[in-house]
Amino acid sequence: MVSLRPATSKPLTLSYLSLFRSQRKPSSSTLSQTRTQATTRRTTKAHRNAPGPTATPSSKYLAPATPTIIFHPPPSAPSPYQTPPLFLPPSDPRKTLLAQSHAFNNPYASGARPLPPLVRAPAPEEKKYHLSEEDIIEIRRLRAKDPWEWTVPRLAEKFGCSKIFINIAAPATTKRREWGLALHQRYRDRWGNKRRDAVLDRHKRRELWEKDL
């Protein structure tokens, strides 16, 4: 191995170091850092647009005292016949007209048309205790007479009660239960491995939930 160190006992000086650096070949690939449009600063600056007159609370736009609806149209292609508010000078009267146009375009601003109804959650259904002993006897008679015709949903609709009450007052007969289990078994025989594993996992999770594990 040939050493590049000169045959001298003196330490390397600055002239020798500069000589060695000049003899090294320049690197073929140089790394340079440039900022593009994808950087955070330029993207934030490009998106810094002036909000609409009703987008944020402002002293220039006074909200009406009565309940009203503020409509913001979806973004679309700019029209060549309308100058954006960002390019209008502060003294331009079109800025004031644009802020006032929202009130005129709102059909509910004048109060002539009624507001749409409020969206509320449906009230919980009240429990009813209107069935007498004769009604329960009739439910059991119909259920035992023809359980395929007088099903639980049909009896609940006829007597105006819940399906749970029908199952408690008039449970299904043994023949009806066996028919339901056989029908369910036919569906289970057509399950694949993925469906079968999913059902088994669901049963295991339910057992763990019942044991509070």
DSSP secondary structure of 78-127? PPTTS--GGGS-TT-HHHHHHHHHHHHH-TTSSS-SPPPPP--PPPPPPP
* 77: in domain: no
Per cent of the chain over pLDDT 90 is 28
* 125: in domain: no
- Identify whether residues 213 and 178 lie together within a single domain: yes
- Identify whether residues 188 and 164 lie together within a single domain: no
Average pLDDT of the residues in 9-30: 51
Tally of structural domains, the chain: 2
* 151: in domain: yes
Per-residue pLDDT tens over the stretch 55-112: 555 545 556 667 777 777 677 777 778 787 788 888 888 888 877 776 666 666 666 6
Are the beta carbons of 151 and 179 closer than 8 angstroms? no
Q: How confident is the model at residue 196 (pLDDT cuts 50, 70, 90)?
A: very high
- Identify whether residues 159 and 182 lie together within a single domain: no
* 118: in domain: no
Residue 138: which domain range? 130-172
